[in-house]
Amino acid sequence: MRINLKVLICDDVSEKGIDIFKKQADIEVDVKLKMSEDEICEIADQYNAIVVRSATKITKRILEHAKQLKVVGRAGVGIDNIDVETATQKGVVVVNTPDGNTTSAAEHTMAMMLSLARHIPHADHSLRKGRWDRKKFVGVEMRNKTLGIIGFGKIGSEVGKRAKAFDMKIIVFDPFVTKEVAERAGVESVSLNNLLKESDFITVHMPLTAETKHMICTEQFDMMKNDVRIFNVARGGIIDENALYDAIVSKKVAGAALDVYEQEPQTESPLFKLPEVIVTPHLGASTQEAQINVAIDVANEIVRVLRGEPVQNAVNIPFVKHENMATFKPYMVLTEQLGKLAGVFAEGPMDTVEIDYFGEIVNYNTSALNNTLLKGLLRPFLHDAVNYVNAPLVAKNRGVKVKETKNFHTEDYTNKICVTIRGNGDWKHSISGTVFKNNELRILSIDDFSLDIQPTGHIIIITHNDKPKVVGKVGMVLGEYEVNIAGMQLDREEVGGGAMMILTIDQEVSTEIIAAIKEIPGIKSANYVAF
């Protein structure tokens, strides 16, 4: 068969993945490592597919030169080195391999737990220095200890299985794991605060997002038991390293084991000087088996894309042109923003997502919109583990029921979409939105509050009591942190009742600023959203 498809491999991947391409009679594969952006641009238009790991960046410039490109594959989970937005605009599918390193990361977590509990690295170092110091390295048993797992996805659940073999009590926090799913796994689903208060060991298995950055900082350390032990084999930045250092020095935290860091590569850190800390250089996925698995997975996905077959791990959905795309595309963007905003209001594990369509949009196949909404809802918490293709399955596996209704009649707008999330019969929140004729997106309501928000940029959403001085004090707090307010909207249920304040701001805000706002008397909740 004549060769008419070409694959470029830019980073070192397992030969077993490369062999999959070589077995295809109509695919030619070239391995060219350590190329610069200029070098890739010179040859990019020759290839239909590009494979990378973390070293090579697929930039907008490269994508503009790659006229024949159909797919970019990441042999791994993270896609920060790929310009997904530009790829989407150009109809290029981006795929990753979220499952290939699950076992490796889970086993590395257990290795870190055992090493910290029994002082293995430091005892090894001491003995090699000629010291037989048994009393110095008295450890603790894991049996009958409470392990708190933050994030109960593929890796977190695998850690739970292994920890149960050590007779540990497992409690988990995950916004998308219902009590029923937790019970089937033999663990207990709790709030984040309860997990922090009850755990002897805490391990993090969340992605790094705007919502999870520094989710473990001084306030959280203060809630924990004395002599708690902390582990991070997920992403650097979820734990505030400065706060962790202070918590260890003050003896609040007995020790920590870290595989990831806020800045990588990292060879110098105050944490590295503490004897209570064990560190490794991001080895979670560094096993022979994991490297083989991700190479095989990405190769198979790329072959499926080139053959026009369904894929399992597409990170994006290219906007293919057809007669309805001009109308349909803005609603895909809207549903993703509605999902992201709804997730902000989740008060715990959710069990139901209701999606209601009103108006002419009911004539379309809304399954793509449902997937996009679920992706927006789940992605802030699960990040690259969820995509447009697998979002419904991810929701189902976590016990979340998705219900869709359609109604052609709508009173106020040509089209309207409403999403309602519910959790364990205890709480619910609803958000609605539309697209104006000029393709401007609008959030129309949040719960019982009527609004007119453009879901772009940086927004702070505050619920509070309708009383004097609250709005002014919020402005003062932001002013103290030199955060400029670009716009404000207010709505209230009744005079003196509940109220909602929407602030459009010019920059990202830290968890410290949000915490300061929450301290203002009369404030019920404050959430920052970056669209």
Domain boundaries, the chain: 5-97+289-307, 102-279, 319-456, 457-531
Q: Which of 108, 119, 235, 422 is catalytic?
A: 235
426 DSSP assignment: T
258-267, 325-334, 389-398 — which is least confidently predicted?
A: 325-334
Evaluate whether the domain defined by 319-456 bears CATH number 2.40.160.10: no
Nearest 5°: the CA angle 456, 460, 465 is 140
* Position 522 pLDDT exceeds 50: yes
* Position 37 pLDDT exceeds 90: yes
Confidence of residue 322 (pLDDT cuts 50, 70, 90): very low
Confidence of residue 143 (pLDDT cuts 50, 70, 90): very high
* Position 318 pLDDT exceeds 60: no
What tokens appear for 234 in the block? 């997920």
* CATH of segment(s) 102-279: 3.40.50.720
Instruction: Give dist(CA 325, CA 196) in Å, integer.
Output: 47
Q: What is the pLDDT of residue 396?
A: 86
Q: What is the pLDDT of residue 320?
A: 45
**Is 282 a catalytic site residue?**
yes
What tokens appear for 378 in the block? 């789940």
**Is 141 a catalytic site residue?**
no
Number of CB atoms found within 10 A of residue 266's CB: 17
Asked if domains 5-97+289-307 and 102-279 share a fold, the reply is: yes
Q: What's the whole-number average pLDDT of the chain?
A: 90
Confidence of residue 321 (pLDDT cuts 50, 70, 90): very low
Q: What is the pLDDT of residue 131?
A: 95
Instruction: Give dist(CA 404, CA 440) in Å, integer.
Output: 24
Q: Which of 42, 141, 264, 480 is catalytic?
A: 264
Q: What is the pLDDT of residue 126?
A: 95
pLDDT, greater one: 390 or 449:
449
Average pLDDT of the residues in 48-73: 95
**Is 235 a catalytic site residue?**
yes
Q: Which fold has domain 457-531?
A: Alpha-Beta Plaits (3.30.70)
Torsion sign across C-alpha atoms 99, 104, 109, 113 = positive
* CATH of segment(s) 5-97+289-307: 3.40.50.720
Average pLDDT of the residues in 421-437: 88
pLDDT, greater one: 391 or 412:
391
Q: What is the pLDDT of residue 517?
A: 95
* Position 391 pLDDT exceeds 50: yes
Average pLDDT of the residues in 432-445: 89
Q: Which of 205, 282, 398, 458 is catalytic?
A: 282
Q: Which residues of 477-504 are buried (b: 16+ CB within 10 A; e: fewer)?
A: bbeeeebeeeeebebbeeeeebbbbbbb
Q: What does pTM read for this prediction?
A: 0.74
Q: Are strands 277-279 and 427-435 parallel, antiparallel or unpaired?
A: unpaired
